[in-house]
Structure 1
């Protein structure tokens, strides 16, 4: 597995997996997801938007972060969405809606059972992408995402993908 943290470069052939979900006001679930992916032997390039150190005093840092995430999400093969219980995460909800509308994007979506907008995530995905089941735990979501990376054809990041559904994988 290759690991890339924002704002790192990730021009590498192979399958890419983006860890989409809350950062501000959320536990570092990305660290747990990366550890679990390593334990599963995932061979994808894992793109993590959560930086070890974010330069809060740099006014350009926010725009650079948003630009990196936007570009990475458009170029990745599998997007793992995780909604933790601690906060609503409106930007992540927007990103889920945007990428759910893209039929060429493999999405794996999980939500903590206590996430306050879980019913909305489930209801909206049932209409936009009925092939996607919202999973109940981070480990189940990570396993499903790892399984999706294993079945995708290898290509260069940014190359066109064929349409795939990401159904539940236990």
Structure 2
């Protein structure tokens, strides 16, 4: 039902453009926290299907699974490029374990996206160690942006943002075509 509308691109996979597709990047906790990305992909597919747009979506779903390597410059480059070119970034900050709860790279990526006014949807689970930092900092730079407490609501925000992005792109393409015809 939803497979034709949603394509998932994992870490280090090439992401050739799909005509007319919108793109979303799943940013957030990777280590020492629950694996939330597969659930998010499934929920995003269902939300997008129910939105009725019929437009395809490509989801960039990174993973730290680079066998035998604690750090991979190739993975960092892949994530950087996917973040740069995506239409919307969905940030999810789940509770982590007590040894590594902060998720510093995701916080850095959130700061960059917020400061550059990239379209984002943000959620931080109750119990996430830096939830107050996320909500307070975003309130200062993007006061109208909600920080959700559950992943499903965050996905709903991402879908609404994708729809607005798609509508804006459609209007821009229509205007460009009209100007080109003149």
Provide the TM-score with structure 1 as the length reference: 0.82
**Residue 8 of structure 1: how far off its partner (Å):** 1.1
- Counterpart residue number, 1:7: 12
Moved more, 38-47 or 140-149: 38-47
C-alpha RMSD over aligned residues: 1.7
Greater share of helix: 2
Alpha-carbon distance in structure 1 between the residues aligned to 2:66 and 2:115: 33
Q: Given the alignment of the two structures, is residue 137 of structure 1 paired with residue 142 of structure 2, yes or no?
A: no
**Residue 148 of structure 1: how far off its partner (Å):** 1.5
- In structure 2, the gaps of 5 or more residues are 1-5, 50-55, 170-182
Contact kept? 2:25, 2:90, Cα under 8 Å: yes
Structure of higher RCO (CA pairs closer than 8 Å, 6+ residues apart): 1
- CA displacement, residues 12-46 of structure 1 (integer Å, 9 cap, x when unaligned): 13210000001111211001100101222353111
4+ runs of 1 displaced by more than 6 Å? none
Contact kept? 2:88, 2:158, Cα under 8 Å: yes
Task: Name which of 68, 79, 86 aligns with 2:78.
Answer: 68
- In structure 1, the gaps of 5 or more residues are 156-170
Alpha-carbon distance in structure 2 between the residues aligned to 1:55 and 1:69: 13
Other structure's SS at 2:9 match = strand
Other structure's SS at 1:40 match = helix
Q: Given the alignment of the two structures, is residue 34 of structure 1 paired with residue 41 of structure 2, yes or no?
A: yes
Task: Name which of 64, 67, 71 aligns with 1:56.
Answer: 67
Report the number of matched residues.
Answer: 151
Alpha-carbon distance in structure 2 between the residues aligned to 1:85 and 1:57: 26
